[in-house]
Amino acid sequence: MAEPILEVSGLVKHYPLTRGILFKKQIGAVRAVDGVDFDLARGETLGIVGESGCGKSTVAKMLVNLERPTAGSIRYQGEDITKLSGRALKTVRRNIQMVFQDPYTSLNPRMTVGDIIGEPYDIHPEAAPKGDRRRRVQDLLDVVGLNPEYVNRYPHQFSGGQRQRIGIARGLALRPEVIVADEPVSALDVSVQAQVINLMERLQDEFDLSYIFIAHDLSIVRHISDRVGVMYLGRIVEIGRDAEIYDHPTHPYTQALLSAVPVPDPEAREHRERIILAGDVPSPANPPSGCRFRTRCWKARERCELEMPPLAVPAVFAAGPAAHDSACHFAEAKQVVPAETAENAGTAENAGTAENAGTAE
């Protein structure tokens, strides 16, 4: 694997729960993120999936420094960015940018498109000489597939997909190396999602970007990611290359998640095994002891209650196609995604074995 551009270790974010009108007293904490580690290689796409409340968006916010971690570090090219402030922080921000979920609220309705995409240059005047900015903004519009003459329009004059392109253009303005995309297509119509996904893949090649792609849609994450991390209640429970996660999941939660995704193939519904989880996700203010998934897990035993399973390659899978990190005491490979027809299965295999399959295409 190429050298990591981003190294996240022991990342924790607790939001204090307080009571009181004038003088606030802490009565507990919401453990939104509770010990997350991963690396991101240059040119790679790391997908992070999980259900609402699992902490994936909080991770995204910490990566772009919108939230300060309670503990842990985020190293960008070896430097811990969580402790930075002032000028040094501003420099780092140029290199890690974010694309937001909701194209309707992420663009200031009272700014023209030209001002929105050009704002990065106002904040970082050294990035582009003043006379050059307008041309750059128009170039960016062109790059994301919008008419460069639209600079004087306002966001509401565009459709959702077009707005998301504007958001992407803003994210690209400073030529960042890492883009954190938090559910970038989930607010869009199906036919427009594909346009935006294709655009993001093309831009990755064109600008040599590394992506952190956060989503709840496992199909989209598989499509775009080289590696995938699965989050549950503030922790990563399983992480590995996309074929390892989708074809050889070893954590029960991943298996349940994958088996619950509807596959657009009515033939599959009869002979597909569904793992239907009981109950709801526990509150992050009061997570279960030991393994956090144990309250909904059909394999849970006493050990799961007492001992938190580490995120590591389970000994039973030390070699073989399922060798990837999985935080389960009783990890067990199980194929839950139906095998496809011969040709498609072949493609999946290739994608899994070839190094950097995602970027080589």
Which residues from 292-331 bind other proteins, rule CB under 8 A?
A: none
Residue at token pair 């072949």: 346
Instruction: Tell me which of 45, 58, 82, 162 binds other proteins, using CB under 8 A.
Output: 162
Of 109-148, which residues contact other proteins (CB under 8 A)? Answer: 109-112, 114-115, 119-120, 122-124, 134, 142-148
Q: Compute the least distance from the CB of residue 323 to other proteins, in Å.
A: 19
Residue 33, helix vs strand vs coil: strand
Query: Which is nearer to other proteins, 35 or 352 (by Cβ)?
Result: 352
Six-digit token pair at 263?
Answer: 């596959």
Q: Give the interface segment with other proteins, choosing from 8-16, 72-80, 219-227, 302-310 (CB under 8 A).
A: 219-227
Instruction: Tell me which of 10, 17, 83, 159 binds other proteins, using CB under 8 A.
Output: 159
Q: Compute the least distance from the CB of residue 157 to other proteins, in Å.
A: 4
Q: How far apart (Å, rounded) are the C-alpha atoms in residues 134 and 205?
A: 25
Query: Which is nearer to other proteins, 1 or 261 (by Cβ)?
Result: 261
Q: Compute the least distance from the CB of residue 287 to other proteins, in Å.
A: 15
Of 26-45, which residues contact other proteins (CB under 8 A)? Answer: none
Q: Cβ(40)–Cβ(69) under 8 Å?
A: no
Q: Give the interface segment with other proteins, choosing from 4-12, 68-76, 264-272, 319-327 (CB under 8 A).
A: 264-272
Q: How far is CA 240 from CA 97, 118, 195, in A?
A: 24, 38, 27
Packed helices 160-172 and 190-207: angle between N→C axes, nearest 10 degrees: 20
Q: Could you say whether residue 347 binds other proteins (CB under 8 A)?
A: yes
Q: Give the interface segment with other proteins, choosing from 1-9, 57-65, 77-85, 309-317 (CB under 8 A).
A: 57-65
Q: Compute the least distance from the CB of residue 326 to other proteins, in Å.
A: 18
Write the DSSP assignment of 265-330 as a string of letters: -GGGGTT----PPPS-PPPTTSPPSSSTTGGG-TT--HHHHHSPPPSB--GGGSSSTT-SEE--TT
Number of residues that bind other proteins (CB under 8 A): 108
Q: How far apart (Å, rounded) are the C-alpha atoms in residues 300 and 71?
A: 29
Q: Cβ(156)–Cβ(109) under 8 Å?
A: yes
Write the Ramachandran bin of 159: left for phi over 0, alpha for psi from -120 to 50, otherwise beta: beta
Q: Could you say whether residue 227 binds other proteins (CB under 8 A)?
A: no
> What is the 8-class DSSP label of residue 21?
S
Instruction: Tell me which of 83, 269, 301, 303 binds other proteins, using CB under 8 A.
Output: 269
Angle in degrees, CA 295, 300, 302, rounded to 5: 105
Of 65-84, which residues contact other proteins (CB under 8 A)? Answer: 65-66
Q: Could you say whether residue 1 binds other proteins (CB under 8 A)?
A: no
Q: How far is CA 331 from CA 180, 199, 299, 314, in A?
A: 30, 37, 10, 7
Q: Compute the least distance from the CB of residue 87 to other proteins, in Å.
A: 10
Residue at token pair 């990611």: 225
Q: Could you say whether residue 263 binds other proteins (CB under 8 A)?
A: yes
Question: Which of 120, 109, 151 lies closest to 134, judged by CA?
Answer: 151
Six-digit token pair at 72?
Answer: 């842990």
Instruction: Tell me which of 30, 48, 64, 322 binds other proteins, using CB under 8 A.
Output: 64
Query: Which is nearer to other proteins, 71 or 261 (by Cβ)?
Result: 261
Of 171-190, which residues contact other proteins (CB under 8 A)? Answer: 174, 189-190
Per-residue contact flags (x/-) with other proteins for residues 85 to 114, judged by CB under 8 A: ----xx--xx--xx-xxx--xxxxxxxx-x
Residue 70, helix vs strand vs coil: coil
Query: Which is nearer to other proteins, 239 or 351 (by Cβ)?
Result: 351
Instruction: Tell me which of 22, 315, 318, 319 binds other proteins, using CB under 8 A.
Output: 22
